[in-house]
Structure 1
């Protein structure tokens, strides 16, 4: 079994969890390949006793990988998606961060969870993505024109609001006068969209949600639409440009650029343990069902 390993940062006390991960994989005789920059980060930290010089590295993935281990928080999983793309490699999220909505494995149960996964005792949760194109074409967006969580429009270098003219399937919906607009997948509904008042969507829902950011037109509310819809956005404001983000990747677009957003033609597969579920994650992460009146 060939397994890719990726992380963005070296968190305090990470050596304990990284060593447990590697020990569990070595026990199962897995072929371990570590992302090149992450290997450099590991080798620069003296806390880890083992030398990583003998491990193979990658800068790009191919279909020969069986699993892709993402070590960190949800942000690391979002970055992992840019490596996996449309290859269909299942992602195992190991949460060494804080909230961790997307992570499969909590750091307290690394060894037993990896054993379970390597014995093929897991299920796959398929997650839809958004794809984006622009007119004129943007060189900042084109190489990785997809997002697992959301596409977000935000004002840039100004305190003034922007206008986001929005069409769905070529039919005019409204113009959001606001700080911006979020178009989120069900996976992204528990992220930026939720913090701006958007609804929580089950990942199995075939939908996306439009959530305005601090709208000036107070009758503007989050709007859930089918995920086979195609959106056309045109942004204008006092400044000549604005920001667009695809998950954590940020680009600048000029006013009146046409933005086309639709469901991507591929999905991301997240490994999920049989006893876990989205409902369980919500209950634990958002403390639903807990009586805090005492």
Structure 2
């Protein structure tokens, strides 16, 4: 039986070109057939990738291998959403939270793939429904990381009203509002001051950005609840909705955005390490407190003083050279 891999990469980077050459060589040696994704389709709202999935045979692929950073993985998720095909990310970027392998481990990743030595993990997405004033049919989008409503221009605040499950909660002026999945809690929402949510938690997070309000704290709702964000008619600026930092749509005054938990995207996992270990590795977190570091530094200083004393004592018993 033929085993097939679809490859998505960031073709503009020399590092990606070199990684692609190695990946093709290793996949061929392991007996895989492969196809390169033609990324000529522009990102937009709606399921514009349906025809692309058929044309490129995504449903017949064992895995979609992604060579790049988190942005490239988010782009590849457009292809696999709604299918059973998992994404295997090889990090060529900076943090690479969604990636499973680093560039130097590419060969080992292909060997693990060939041996079917990997697990598949499902990550929840958010479904985004946009109701525009004067338009009968809503516009539907989605995001793996986050949907962000922000002001369209920099000079004024965006006035929004927030609701949960159809009930009004609060309104304020702000730079924007981020609504993220647990997966996206380490991305835009994290930089806005939101909490880190473990990937297996069924939740949707909301983080206000620079809100002019006394009660404007991050909120977390469950998988059966929904957020609404209304761009108020009295807002001095319009808004813009962006999904995963890629697909966007203008929000005139009077627009409403509804965000709830959606379907899943599947990720191929080579490591069974706990998520806490991934946090420590990706963010380079210090796992020892400052007292431990001070104690260690003090011990090192004591060792240096001891060595100097020993050298001094040795030197006093050694005849001087003539």
Give the TM interval when normalised to the shorter protein: 0.7 to 0.9
CA contact (8 A) 1:34 1:58 kept: no
Q: Flag the 1:141–1:170 CA change in 2: closer, same or farther, 3 A.
A: closer
Q: Normalized per residue, which structure has more helix?
A: 2
CA deviations on 1:41-72 (whole Å, 9 max, x unpaired) are xxxxxxxxxxxxxxxx9865541111001111
The reply to whether residue 251 of structure 1 matches residue 249 of structure 2 is yes
Partner of 2:45: none
CA shift for structure 1 position 148: 0.2
The reply to whether residue 189 of structure 1 matches residue 191 of structure 2 is no
The reply to whether residue 283 of structure 1 matches residue 285 of structure 2 is no
Helix, strand or coil at the partner of 2:25 = helix
2:142 to 123, 139, 146: 146
Helix, strand or coil at the partner of 1:88 = coil
1:180 to 176, 182, 189: 176
Partner of 2:107: 111
CA shift for structure 1 position 218: 3.8
Partner of 1:268: 265
The TM-score normalised by the length of structure 2 is 0.79
Partner of 1:43: none
CA contact (8 A) 1:90 1:271 kept: yes
- Number of aligned residue pairs: 272
For structure 1, which runs of at least 5 residues remain unmatched after alignment? 39-56
Determine the C-alpha separation between the residues in 2 that align with 1:221 and 1:114.
Answer: 44
2:130 to 131, 134, 138: 134
Alignment of 1:34-183 (within 5 A): 34-37=36-39, 60-136=56-132, 142=140, 145-183=141-179
Determine the C-alpha separation between the residues in 2 that align with 1:138 and 1:152.
Answer: 23
Stretch deviating more after TM superposition (158-167 or 190-199) = 158-167
The TM-score normalised by the length of structure 1 is 0.86
Partner of 1:16: 18
The reply to whether residue 6 of structure 1 matches residue 8 of structure 2 is yes
Determine the C-alpha separation between the residues in 2 that align with 1:285 and 1:138.
Answer: 45
CA shift for structure 1 position 246: 0.7
CA contact (8 A) 1:151 1:183 kept: yes
CA contact (8 A) 1:168 1:231 kept: yes
Determine the C-alpha separation between the residues in 2 that align with 1:60 and 1:252.
Answer: 31
Determine the C-alpha separation between the residues in 1 that align with 2:111 and 2:68.
Answer: 19
Alignment of 1:192-207 (within 5 A): 192-207=188-203
CA contact (8 A) 1:61 1:83 kept: no
Partner of 1:29: 31
CA shift for structure 1 position 114: 1.6
Q: Flag the 1:105–1:141 CA change in 2: closer, same or farther, 3 A.
A: farther
For structure 2, which runs of at least 5 residues remain unmatched after alignment? 41-52, 298-322
CA shift for structure 1 position 219: 2.9
- Note the aligned Cα RMSD (angstroms): 2.2
CA contact (8 A) 2:92 2:103 kept: yes
Determine the C-alpha separation between the residues in 1 that align with 2:284 and 2:29.
Answer: 36
Q: Flag the 1:104–1:174 CA change in 2: closer, same or farther, 3 A.
A: same
CA contact (8 A) 1:6 1:69 kept: yes
CA shift for structure 1 position 287: 1.9
